[in-house]
Structure 1
């Protein structure tokens, strides 16, 4: 019963949170998709306007920067939950059984600490931007909401990493996971 697909104990944290996690992941996926669609559309309009009509969109550069940041932070929780980060598998063969679960626990715990710390720092920065009324140069678009979105994305990524840590902890103590 060491297989995670058949062992109900291995899936308990995700089953318990299945519906809320699925809803959040769907909403974030849709938001990221819409942001990417808007970014592609504005880039296409900007390029056509620039090269064919000598009339580029004056706000395209600023909106591209903000949209790219938003896309990254909206996607981060889903990427974390699915364990789709860029990884280097130099020592994959060195870990098996319980050692693989221990490695996953250490990595997930470090991710919780790192993304949680960054979320708190970004939230503080967003509060400072809001307090001072910082805006973009051309459109005068407030920066604070985008930074708040980044902080929320990092916070959700920390929560996703916590789910992974719990799964690794359960795998570590599950019978039949090897040594």
Structure 2
């Protein structure tokens, strides 16, 4: 297990499972980055089409709104696995200076709550995917242009599953470290 800098949030503990998780999370983040470039291209094409040719791309706003949610959830596992989620470290930094073990336990509880919240989100997203496939739900403008909704919802579910796994691994790593009394040299 690698030692963690006291001022930075924890990253995944070492091991085969953590390396596999990090690799998958990185691939998802790359897909999310490609999605970001895709919606940027779509928005620019829409603006150019609207401004110069008086012909905007239909359903741009609907596609972008669905894609942004998918992109966020594709990039969330990597941010979590790398310890880069948005958080305030002021309390933990001060606590760690006084008691590294107590700081690890507090951080462990924080990650445990993240795990539980992602589990709840997954519980409600699973039926959404089935409903969107069975109901043949679409994104776009009916009669003009539309596409299936299920790929976007599936990206959200995959992101939830992987983020849950990252939070669970971080929780376990922090609990082990706290129980041992700190990072191993």
1:150-161 equivalences in 2 (<5 Å) = 150-161=156-167
What TM-score, normalized by structure 1, do the two folds share?
Answer: 0.85
1:1-179 equivalences in 2 (<5 Å) = 3-4=3-4, 13-92=13-92, 93-95=94-96, 96-138=99-141, 139-175=145-181
| Structure 2 residues not aligned, in runs of 5+ | none
Displacement of 1:176 in angstroms is 5.1
Distance 1:88 1:26 in 2: 24
Displacement of 1:51 in angstroms is 1.2
Question: Hey, which of these two has a bigger chunk of strand by percent?
Answer: 2
* SS of residue paired to 2:138: coil
Query: CA separation of 1:53/1:123 partners in 2, compared to 1, >3 Å: closer, same or farther?
Result: same
* SS of residue paired to 1:136: strand
Report the count of equivalent residues: 173
Q: Does the Cα contact within 8 Å between 1:120 and 1:151 map onto a contact in 2?
A: no
Query: CA separation of 1:134/1:156 partners in 2, compared to 1, >3 Å: closer, same or farther?
Result: same
* SS of residue paired to 2:166: helix
CA deviation map 1:36-74 (0-9, x unaligned) = 111111111111111122111113212211221111010
Query: CA separation of 1:145/1:62 partners in 2, compared to 1, >3 Å: closer, same or farther?
Result: same
What TM-score, normalized by structure 2, do the two folds share?
Answer: 0.83
